Amino acid sequence: MSDIVEHNGITSPLHQENVGSIKFTSGIFPQKEYGEGDFLSSFEIEDSSNLNFIAFFDNSLTNYLHQLAPDLSIGELHKNGNYQFSFYLDAELMYTENLNQGAGLPSQKNEETILHRPLLSSIGVDSWGRFLWMRFFYRSGANFELWDGAHQLKIEIRPYLELDEILIGDVIAEGKINIQLDEPVVSEEQIAIQPVQANSGWEVSGERFNEEKILEMNKLIAQNRIQDLTSIVVIKGGKLLIEQYFNSADRTTLHNTRSVGKSFASTVTGIALEDGYLTGTNQTIDEFYDLKRFQNYSERKGTVTLKSLLTMSSGFLGNDSDYDSPGNEENMYPTSDWVKFALDLPMDENKQVEETWEYFTAGTVLLGDILHQAVPGGLEKYADEKLFRPLGITNYQWQYTPQKVANTAGGLQLTSLDYAKFGQLYLNGGTWNGQQVLSEEWVNRSFTNYFKDTPDQTAYGFLFWNQMFSVNGDSYEAYLSNGNGGNKIVMFKDEPIVIIITATAYGMPFAHPQAELMIQNYILPAILE
């Protein structure tokens, strides 16, 4: 098949000798010149390591993609495809990723026949290669596997296209390297289980748990194999079982758990409905705003319901997972009016209101503004009176929108023990100390997966996630408040367990995978015995 674009071809004898191979080099990226003597057969990973890969091809990415779908234009190939990377550790496939279509410039995809990127960088080079490595390292659990001697790492590269189905091409380059990561030495004092101190406000549990599992986890934290963690709290049977703090945090620390705060907006919505300040989740936003005053007016915009804001299915042209989306939250934050930003957005013709899920922070800001209008005294005062005071939460801190409204996008800061109260409130069916703070019906509605009939979409309720954990072959269903950095409130459907994890790994690809590994591999096995 003929090529669709001209490419650089074979650029040197070194290139010719290594077509189809991936080689590895050390040193600060980019390395201007390299030769066979620079290629590594083994590498020891240290804190200040630099490791780069060089893949030698006989064609460019655009032409490889053209071979998969000859009828597509160059632009369509770039929009729908890129490289697929597969990482093997000791011949076992550990991680596969279809690189985001936006990674790499169009000119590079058309012309380059050598792909040279850093995997590890002591100076933090801004490259998708580094983040690809971090996703492999933490999501696959490789960070737990690599600490006991030498291992062989193999990487394979293929082209892929995501159309109605995912098309995967043949391997266009592969390479191996032996890697070693020495285990840091830590003391017994560093990994010791922290005893629960007095005056927590919780009854302390006398229940036993598998201390060896928690010690194993604490060792990983002390070795910085689990990074940027600030606290772990476990409530079992309504009693405080485990309470540990790390990296200078303590019981009084107010944690910025980012989007965990979205779930609190759901709670206040339920209370406002019970109090009659809202009439139902089928209320539409045109009851609160004159939509004709905003850009991109359409009658369809008037069909956006409170339910659709609660379930991230409002149909606006906004998707936080797509950096090119007009409604991406990063486009909202620099503006002077976040509500106007949301209401100015056009509707997405490919989405159905209350049917299509996409993570959309601006929609939660809109919900917060509606609450602020609807409840007496505004959102902040109402939440304090109706939620925080009944739970005995007095030490907390909101962030605010440019209009000085409590920010329901995230950033609501509480102590770990107070986040645990919030989780326990839901496990209690909305009651706290005998008081019905939140209706049991709202708890059940909040924990319903509204997208169960569309399994390709995320399991999601009223600003709560739905996730399964597996321990020793048994599955445990949980409802979660998740926030950037690896922050989590985890409430289990059929177990009397609340787990709080706070962390500051903001924007890091390992943040949520490491928290989930902690829960599944260490915390749950320890407390379910």
Q: Read off φ and ψ for residue 257, nearest 5 degrees.
A: -95, 15
pLDDT on residue 404: 97
Together in a domain, 35 and 64: yes
Instruction: Say how many residues make up the chain.
Output: 529
Task: Tell me, rounded to whole angstroms, the distance of Cα 78 from its chain centroid.
Answer: 25
- What is the DSSP track for 308-353? HHHTT---BS--TT-TT-TT-HHHHTTSS-HHHHHHHSPBPTT--T
DSSP 182: P
Q: What's the CATH number where 339 sits?
A: 1.20.58
Task: Note whether 474 and 461 are within 8 A (CB).
Answer: no
- Whether 270 is in a domain gets the answer no
Residue 13 has pLDDT above 80, yes or no: yes
Domain that holds residue 202: 188-257+417-426+467-528
- What is the DSSP track for 259-291? GGHHHHHHHHHHHHHHHTSS--TT-BGGGTS-G
Residue 422's alpha-carbon distances to 203, 327, 390, 478, in angstroms, are 16, 30, 11, 15
Q: Report the b/e string of 324-333 with b at 16+ CB within 10 A.
A: ebbbbbebbe
Helix 261-275 × helix 416-427 angle, to 10°: 50
Count CB-CB contacts under 10 A for residue 409.
Answer: 24
Together in a domain, 39 and 172: yes
Together in a domain, 31 and 176: yes
Task: Note whether 315 and 352 are within 8 A (CB).
Answer: yes
Helix 511-518 × helix 128-139 angle, to 10°: 10
- Split at pLDDT 50, 70, 90, the class of 456 is confident
Residue 360 has pLDDT above 90, yes or no: yes
Of 13-22, 135-144, 165-174, 233-242, the least confident: 135-144
pLDDT on residue 434: 95
Looking up tokens 């597509």, which residue turns up?
72
Residue 405 has pLDDT above 80, yes or no: yes
pLDDT on residue 142: 79
Together in a domain, 35 and 128: yes
Together in a domain, 293 and 357: yes
Together in a domain, 316 and 292: yes
Q: Which of 180, 210, 229 is the last residue of a domain?
A: 180
Q: Which of 180, 205, 233 is the last residue of a domain?
A: 180
pLDDT on residue 5: 97
Q: Read off φ and ψ for residue 378, nearest 5 degrees.
A: 90, 165
Residue predicted with more confidence, 218 or 134: 218
Of residues 115, 132, 113, the one with CA closest to residue 23 = 115
Counting residues of the chain whose pLDDT is more than 90, the rounded percentage is 88
Average pLDDT for the chain = 95
Q: Which of 159, 180, 201 is the last residue of a domain?
A: 180
Together in a domain, 214 and 111: no
- Whether 449 is in a domain gets the answer no
- Whether 454 is in a domain gets the answer no
The tokens describing 117, both together, are 């990127």
Of residues 325, 260, 217, the one with CA closest to residue 512 = 260
Provide the number of structural domains found in the chain. Answer: 3
Peptide bond into 195 cis (omega under 30): no
Side-chain half-sphere of 263: how many Cα atoms within 13 Å?
29
What value does the mean pLDDT take over residues 67-84? 97
- Whether 403 is in a domain gets the answer no
Termini Cα distance of the chain: 60
CA–CA separation, 402 and 369 (whole Å): 12
- Whether 158 is in a domain gets the answer yes
What value does the mean pLDDT take over residues 433-446? 98
CA–CA separation, 207 and 176 (whole Å): 48
CA–CA separation, 112 and 257 (whole Å): 42
Which residues is 54 bridged to in the sheet? Answer: 23, 116
- Whether 405 is in a domain gets the answer no
pLDDT on residue 141: 75
Together in a domain, 23 and 167: yes
**H or E segment and range at residue 175:** strand 173-180
pLDDT on residue 30: 82
Q: Read off φ and ψ for residue 194, nearest 5 degrees.
A: -75, 125
DSSP 1: -
Residue 431's region, left for phi above 0, alpha for psi from -120 to 50, else beta, is beta
Residues 497-522: pLDDT tens digits? Answer: 999 999 999 998 889 989 999 999 99
Together in a domain, 146 and 222: no
Together in a domain, 518 and 494: yes
Together in a domain, 117 and 30: yes
- Whether 96 is in a domain gets the answer yes
Residue 386 has pLDDT above 90, yes or no: yes
pLDDT on residue 420: 98
CA–CA separation, 227 and 352 (whole Å): 40
- What is the DSSP track for 108-145? HHHH-SEEEEEEE-TT----HHHHHHHHHHHHSSHHHH
- Whether 80 is in a domain gets the answer yes
What value does the mean pLDDT take over residues 454-474? 93
Together in a domain, 96 and 71: yes
The SS3 assignment for 221 reads helix
pLDDT on residue 201: 95
pLDDT on residue 264: 98
Counting residues of the chain whose pLDDT is more than 70, the rounded percentage is 100
pLDDT on residue 241: 98
**Identity at 292, one-letter amino acid code:** K
